[in-house]
Amino acid sequence: MALQTQPGTRPGRGTAPGTAVVPRARTNTFSALLHRHPRLRLAGLLTAPAGWLVLVYVAALAALLITALWTVDTFTGKVTQSWTLANVVQVVTDPVYQIITLRTLWIALAVTVIDMVIALPISFFIAKVATERWQKLLVVAVLMPLWASYLVKAYAWRNVLAEGGLLEWLGTPLGLHSPGYSETAVILTLSYIWLPYMILPIHAGFERVPDSLLEASGDLGAKPWTTMRLVMLPILVPSIIAGTIFTFSLSLGDYITAQIVGGTTQMLGTVVYANVGAANNLPFASAVSLIPIAIVMIYLFVVRRTGALENL
Amino acid sequence: MSQTVLGGDRAATPSGTAEVPAIRLRNLVKRFGETAAVDGVDLDIRQGEFFSMLGPSGSGKTTVLRLIAGFDLPTSGTIELEGRDVSGMAPFQRDVNTVFQDYALFPHMSLLDNVAYGLRVRGMAKQERRERAVEALDRVQLGKFVTRRPAQLSGGQRQRVALARALVVEPKVLLLDEPLGALDLKLRQQMQLELKELQRSLGITFIFVTHDQEEALTMSDRIGVFNNGKIAQTGTAHEIYRRPTGPFVANFVGTSNLFGADAAGRLYGRGGQFVVRPERLAIGWDGATPSDDGVTAVRGTVASVVYVGHATQVHVALEGGPAVVVLVGADLPGADDDLLGRSVAVSWADRDAVWLPDAA
């Protein structure tokens, strides 16, 4: 036996107690100090990330909020630091921006619902039906589009949706026609682009449901659809909401897809983009961008209780 | 226990149908790829019987249970439930319920909803299923906790909920997949008694899968010992322990001292193998061999001494024979170190030698 726990108790062993053959750990006063003082340890671990968080996120958001309260000198085009609520009031009250806000909300909701409907059966198949080998391949297949550039995917859809494009070619014999460059095109394209963000959390959710729960449900007399409704879905709700947080907030802030396949469709993101660029009105762009931030915060606040935030 | 919801109509059923076995397996085979997890099992389990499937892990006992429940479908062979062929049916079509090893309680439901689940999916009205679920929880002493979630319970309590949930739908056969495995020794022994008592009062057939031979011996009316996907022996606890039909059963159920063909030939002048249980062996510390009629004695050397609480296991290497374990209940005549290497005599009554049938 190499590991003699009680040296000397066995006759015939030469090693006297105390002369350990295995080297002891060297004393480290700093580690010992940290071990004795958990608060010190916590402070050491948190300072850097917390500092980064304050600097990058909180400070940037605060700057945005402050900028929204400034205004642009129409003559010089420079931001003047005089305080006014005019931008915010205009964004909230002007019917043009109200309509754009509602349209953006509608697009984000439609994308979220479409992705949810597509992702549920796909995730179920990957997690519970496919063999282990296929599981790995399918997860990679789901992830693969994320490795391609966003722009490439959006332009690919521009081609698909174009006059005489793939969709028209496939649809014409069936009596369908391409939606062209429109709101519908934006919804389709965004649904495609954000789909992996919905599949991954739902897939992880399905993986966490033990097979024995499904077996128990069937064993007690439930048909597969009942098992899905009464056992699977309630357990999956947090995972589904985790997925919707991604698809919803990503769609809410999008402007590239709207520009590439949206035709004349205006979303909040395109308004921000136009005001930062062409109109050179940073304060107004900031005011507009506060809307999706507010909506996402409200959404997070509502879903917080479901435990979805632990599933991100 | 008085007439209950669980036992109600079962108690009214006359025992005249007892000739039809609750479960009949015929030439049951289940392959996973190349390996046969279950390799030709024939078994009749009587109605109202407490039947244990005992075997080491990987012996196919759990697979047989899953085939009976319908979670897996057999590669070939048939499963009959009270005379009806259910081999190809889905779990929800079989009048059989399972208590899972991990209990498989629904984490998002209260205890009440968990237990009422089976009644709910069968379309029972809300009021009635709640009453029955409360009654079933009362029976397992969890009536106070109906609104709790499974996560708020201890292992033993979850086990009881799983039991109540499976029994409330009044199955013909209850399958238990190592349900006591996760409990500590005291609780396990208590649950063993409670399960046995419950089974007796309900009259439902219990099929109990375990790898713990003591558990199987304590609880079962009959035991099937599994090895390599086959049933090595079926019989009462007494038969299995006293008359094992092969070296595997002799060794798996309790400790056995197996004497090979050459030892048998030397001692008794006949072929074949025999076993003697450790508690049937006596040890003569002075090395003198008793010369009584019908007693066989062999000299040997003490190899090790292991104290196990209620007795001491003395391992003796017999001269020319196997190494055997002797269970000594009395105090030893010296310190362990003095006994090691001592020359002793091991003896046993010839009627305690169990001859194993020749392996086919």
Summarize pLDDT for B335-359 with one digit per residue, the tens.
Answer: 878 888 889 999 999 888 888 887 5
* Distance in angstroms (rounded) separating the CA atoms of residues A97 and B44: 77
Of A212, A222, A234, the CB nearest to B121: A222
Per-residue confidence (pLDDT) for residue B12, from 0 to 100: 41
- Any idea which residue has 């479901």 for tokens? A306
In the stretch 154-193 of chain B, residues with CB closer than 8 A to chain A read 165-166, 169
Residues A48 and A158 in one domain: no
What backbone torsions phi and psi does residue B25 show, to the nearest 5 degrees?
-110, 130
Of B70, B98, B104, the CB nearest to A213: B104
- The alpha carbon of residue B351 is apart from the nearest alpha carbon of chain A, in Å, by 43
**Which chain A residues have a beta carbon less than 8 Å from that of B105?**
216
- How does DSSP assign B150-216, residue by residue? GGGS-HHHHHHHHHHHHHTT--SEEEEESTTTTS-HHHHHHHHHHHHHHHHHH--EEEEEES-HHHH
Instruction: Give me the long-range contacts of A158-166 (CB less than 8 A, separation at least 24).
Output: A158/A260, A158/A261, A161/A185, A161/A188, A161/A189, A161/A261
pLDDT band at B272 (very low <50, low <70, confident <90, very high): confident
* Distance in angstroms (rounded) separating the CA atoms of residues A301 and A309: 10
Nearest-CA neighbor of B319 among B358, B289, B345? B345
- Any idea which residue has 């209260």 for tokens? B110
Residues A58 and A189 in one domain: no
Residues A205 and A252 in one domain: yes
Of B102, B108, B120, the CB nearest to A212: B102
Does residue B6 surpass a pLDDT of 70?
no
* Distance in angstroms (rounded) separating the CA atoms of residues B73 and A189: 43
* Distance in angstroms (rounded) separating the CA atoms of residues A298 and A245: 11
For residue A187, is it within any domain?
yes
What DSSP character marks residue B267? H
Nearest CA in chain A to B69: A219
To the nearest 10 degrees (0 to 180), the angle between helices A233-252 and A282-303 is 180
Does residue B360 surpass a pLDDT of 50?
no
To the nearest 10 degrees (0 to 180), the angle between helices B111-121 and B126-139 is 130
By CB atoms closer than 10 A (0-12, 13-18, 19+), residue B178 is: buried
Range of the domain at A54: 32-68
CATH of the domain at A255: 1.10.3720.10
- Please report how many Cα atoms fall inside a 13 Å half-sphere around the Cα of residue B9, on the Cβ side: 5
| Amino acid residing at B316 | V
- How does DSSP assign chain A, residue by residue? ----SSTTSSTT--PPTT--SSPPPPP-HHHHHHHH-HHHHHHHHHHHHHHHHIIIIIHHHHHHHHHHTSEE-TTT-PEE----SHHHHHHHH-HHHHHHHHHHHHHHHHHHHHHHHHHHHHHHIIIIIS-HHHHHHHHHHHHHHHHS-HHHHHHHHHHHHSTTSHHHHHHGGGT-----SSHHHHHHHHHHHHHHHHHHHHHHHHHHS-HHHHHHHHHTT--HHHHIIIIIHHHHHHHHHHHHHHHHHHHHT--HHHHHH-TT---HHHHHHHHHTTT--HHHHHHHHHHHHHHHHHHHHHHGGGTGGGG-
Residue B315 parent element (H or E): strand B312-318
Who wins on pLDDT, A165 or B168? B168
* Distance in angstroms (rounded) separating the CA atoms of residues B209 and B178: 5
For residue A76, is it within any domain?
no
Q: What is the CA radius of gyration of chain A?
A: 29
Of A216, A221, A226, the CB nearest to B104: A216
For residue A278, is it within any domain?
yes
Who wins on pLDDT, A177 or A108? A108
Answer whether A228 touches B (CB < 8 Å): no
Residues A203 and A283 in one domain: yes
Residues A108 and A217 in one domain: yes
Answer whether A233 touches B (CB < 8 Å): no
For residue A1, is it within any domain?
no
Arithmetic mean of pLDDT over chain B: 87
For residue A23, is it within any domain?
no
Residues A141 and A58 in one domain: no
Residues A55 and A102 in one domain: no
Residues A58 and A101 in one domain: no
- Contact (CB<8Å) A215/B106: no
Does residue B85 surpass a pLDDT of 90?
yes
- The alpha carbon of residue B216 is apart from the nearest alpha carbon of chain A, in Å, by 24
Residues A38 and A120 in one domain: no
pLDDT tens digits along B200-249? 988 899 999 999 888 899 899 999 999 999 999 999 999 998 888 888 99
Does residue B5 surpass a pLDDT of 60?
no
Give the residue from A132, A212, A213, A219 with the most B CB atoms within 10 Å of its CB, the best one to mutate: A219
Residues A113 and A176 in one domain: yes
Per-residue confidence (pLDDT) for residue A117, from 0 to 100: 95
ipTM of the complex: 0.80
**Secondary structure class of B50 (helix, strand, coil):** strand
Residues A45 and A180 in one domain: no
* Distance in angstroms (rounded) separating the CA atoms of residues A282 and A280: 6
Q: Of all residues in chain A, what percent carry a pLDDT higher than 90? A: 40
Does residue A4 surpass a pLDDT of 80?
no
Arithmetic mean of pLDDT over chain A: 86
- Contact (CB<8Å) B121/A235: no
Number of structural domains found in chain A: 2
Per-residue confidence (pLDDT) for residue A312, from 0 to 100: 59
For residue A27, is it within any domain?
no
Residues A181 and A304 in one domain: yes
For residue A85, is it within any domain?
no
pLDDT tens digits along A180-238? 888 999 999 999 999 999 999 999 999 989 999 999 999 999 999 999 999 999 999 98
Per-residue confidence (pLDDT) for residue A5, from 0 to 100: 47
Last residue of a domain, one of A68, A83, A113: A68
For residue A134, is it within any domain?
yes
Q: What share of chain B is helix, strand, coil (3-state, %, to 5)?
A: 35, 30, 35
Q: Of all residues in chain A, what percent carry a pLDDT higher than 70? A: 92
Does residue A1 surpass a pLDDT of 60?
no
